[in-house]
């Protein structure tokens, strides 16, 4: 499985092509739209979320509610494009007319300046239209297809917020994934605890009032994985590294960790590793899960637990110093309508990119043309592993 996305933030549409999804997987538009809707929710989102009501048009690879094995193409139309046609249109610009809303002032923390240099764009809108986190909608669409596939294979994926602006959600590690999903869906900040929800909402509101922005930590939790996905035999086959890559590739993410992660630097080995147990029914299991479901680049069969940190979104009402690329004069970075906190949405994005990476790993290690064949092979493998 692989995918490419295309489309600019204020362009006509976002497009995703996903290649390698097995045939005969049941799927509906509603399942994808549900994921898109969750990405758009969250306390503290700016006005744009109200303008866009993302839905995915299925334009290839799906027929009568089933995948064909052909590439799947999904389109998220931008209903607001009609107001942007002269700014973002594809046809050569009429001579003598001026392009509106050009940008010569790079915002700190954004791709604007580096992207301008790299691609030779002096109108930095040419950068920001693509580097915008708007693109994550197209990635969520790809991940939504992956989630449907995983669900059919008995693999559940939950994404939620663990921390915002230093407020850490306490939670019971033994909480079931169903409860994690239910609680996070019910929380306007996508976290697992009612009290923390209120604190986080307040922190978001306060940041907004101050013209500042705040970041946080999202966690993805995956249950139902077979042991032995990924590999140690070559450095580029380690599945935790692949998942780490995909988390790090989300806009504004600055770090990733598995299980206890950076905490492992402070503990003794005897308090880090997970002892191995066995019983007739379950086969092998770990008594704890500090390593977050991975040993040697492979799944252990325990839940995958991965955290990613998102920096505060850089589009601030409280201005930062920058330099106009034409005049070379300093200025205070421009105020655009913006959210003060995007961590709840980012936790949904992270859930979906991790789901894609896992579905991809499965499709690479099991027969992945025809879904029932894949499912049977995975079931056989699970049995084999249980009896090892």
Q: Which residues are annotated as a binding site for NADP(+)?
A: 39, 45
46 binds its own copies (CB under 8 A): no
Contact residue for its own copies among 34, 198, 372, 379 (CB under 8 A): 372
CB of 335 vs its own copies, minimal distance in Å: 13
CA distances from 352 to 36, 160, 189, 206, 224 (A): 10, 11, 17, 29, 16
Rounded Cα gap, residues 146 and 140, in angstroms: 10
Contact residue for its own copies among 155, 192, 366, 375 (CB under 8 A): 366
209 binds its own copies (CB under 8 A): no
Site for its own copies in 281-320 (CB under 8 A): 284, 286-287, 291-292, 295-301, 309-314, 316, 318, 320
48 binds its own copies (CB under 8 A): no
171 binds its own copies (CB under 8 A): no
Backbone φ, ψ for residue 231 (5° rounding): -160, 160
CB of 178 vs its own copies, minimal distance in Å: 26
Q: Which is nearer to its own copies, 181 or 298 (CB)?
A: 298
Site for its own copies in 73-92 (CB under 8 A): 73, 75, 88-92
Contact residue for its own copies among 25, 157, 189, 207 (CB under 8 A): 207
List the one residue out of 380, 362, 379, 383 whose CA is nearest residue 282: 383
44 binds its own copies (CB under 8 A): no
Q: With contacts defined by CB under 8 A, name the span among 33-41, 149-157, 181-189, 369-377 that binds its own copies.
A: 369-377
List the one residue out of 201, 304, 307, 211 whose CA is nearest residue 253: 307
CB contact at 8 A, 87 and 10? yes
224 binds its own copies (CB under 8 A): no
Rounded Cα gap, residues 320 and 313, in angstroms: 13
Contact residue for its own copies among 17, 141, 144, 350 (CB under 8 A): 17
Binding residues for its own copies, total number by CB under 8 A: 160
Q: Report DSSP letters for 97-118, one per residue.
A: PPPTT----PPTTSSHHHHHHH
Contact residue for its own copies among 85, 101, 119, 334 (CB under 8 A): 119
Q: What torsion do the CA atoms of 260, 137, 166, 190 make, to the nearest 10 degrees?
A: -90
List the one residue out of 57, 105, 108 whose CA is nearest residue 78: 57
360 binds its own copies (CB under 8 A): no
173 binds its own copies (CB under 8 A): no
215 binds its own copies (CB under 8 A): yes
Cβ within 8 Å of residue 97, ≥6 positions away: none
CA distances from 191 to 160, 171, 182, 183 (A): 5, 10, 10, 7
175 binds its own copies (CB under 8 A): no
**Residue with structure tokens 């049995």?**
383
Contact residue for its own copies among 53, 85, 114, 178 (CB under 8 A): 114
Joined together, the tokens standing for residue 149 give: 């596939």
101 binds its own copies (CB under 8 A): no
Q: What is the DSSP letter of 271?
A: G
Cβ within 8 Å of residue 35, ≥6 positions away: 140, 141, 143, 144, 147, 348, 352
Q: Which is nearer to its own copies, 139 or 183 (CB)?
A: 139
Contact residue for its own copies among 38, 39, 139, 147 (CB under 8 A): 139
Joined together, the tokens standing for residue 370 give: 């025809």
Q: What is the DSSP letter of 290?
A: T
Q: Which is nearer to its own copies, 250 or 345 (CB)?
A: 250
335 binds its own copies (CB under 8 A): no
Q: Which is nearer to its own copies, 176 or 380 (CB)?
A: 380
Q: Which is nearer to its own copies, 176 or 372 (CB)?
A: 372
List the one residue out of 369, 339, 305, 274 whose CA is nearest residue 133: 339
Q: Which is nearer to its own copies, 53 or 118 (CB)?
A: 118
Q: Which residues are annotated as a binding site for FMN?
A: 130-132, 251-252, 296, 311-315, 337
**Residue with structure tokens 């334009």?**
59
52 binds its own copies (CB under 8 A): no
41 binds its own copies (CB under 8 A): no
Site for its own copies in 231-250 (CB under 8 A): 231-236, 238, 240-242, 244-246, 248-250
């Amino acid at each position: 499985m692989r995918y490419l996305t295309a489309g600019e933030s204020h362009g006509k549409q976002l497009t995703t092509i996903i290649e390698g999804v097995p045939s005969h997987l049941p799927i509906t538009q509603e399942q994808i739209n549900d994921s898109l809707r969750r990405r758009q929710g969250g306390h503290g989102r700016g006005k744009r979320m109200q303008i866009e009501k993302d839905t995915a048009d299925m334009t290839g690879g799906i027929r009568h509610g089933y995948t064909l094995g052909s590439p799947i193409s999904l389109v998220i139309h931008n209903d607001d494009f009609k107001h942007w046609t002269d700014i973002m249109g594809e046809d050569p610009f009429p001579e003598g007319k001026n392009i509106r809303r050009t940008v010569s002032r790079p915002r700190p923390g954004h791709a604007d300046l580096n992207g301008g240099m790299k691609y030779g764009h002096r109108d930095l809108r040419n950068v920001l239209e693509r580097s915008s986190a708007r693109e994550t909608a197209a990635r969520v669409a790809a991940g939504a297809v992956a989630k449907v596939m995983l669900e059919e294979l008995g693999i559940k994926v939950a994404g939620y917020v663990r921390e915002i602006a230093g407020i850490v959600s306490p939670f019971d590690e033994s909480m079931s994934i169903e409860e994690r999903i239910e609680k996070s869906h019910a929380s306007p900040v996508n976290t697992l605890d009612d009290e923390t929800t209120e604190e986080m909402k307040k922190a978001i509101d306060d940041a907004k009032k101050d013209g500042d922005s705040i970041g946080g930590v999202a966690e993805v939790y995956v249950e139902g994985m077979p042991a032995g996905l990924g590999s140690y035999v070559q450095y580029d086959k380690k599945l935790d590294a692949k998942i780490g890559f995909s988390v790090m590739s989300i806009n504004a993410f600055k770090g990733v960790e598995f299980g206890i992660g950076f905490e492992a630097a402070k503990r003794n080995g005897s308090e880090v590793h997970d002892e191995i147990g066995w019983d007739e029914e379950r086969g092998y299991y770990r008594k704890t899960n500090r390593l977050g479901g991975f040993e040697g680049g492979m799944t252990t069969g325990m839940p995958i637990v991965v955290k990613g940190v998102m920096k505060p979104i850089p589009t601030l009402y409280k201005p930062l110093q920058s330099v106009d690329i034409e005049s070379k004069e300093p200025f205070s970075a421009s105020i655009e309508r913006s959210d003060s906190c995007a961590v709840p949405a980012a936790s949904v994005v992270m859930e979906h990119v991790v789901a894609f990476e896992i579905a991809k790993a499965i499709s690479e290690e099991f027969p992945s043309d025809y879904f029932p064949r894949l499912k049977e092979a995975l079931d056989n493998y699970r049995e084999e592993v249980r009896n090892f």
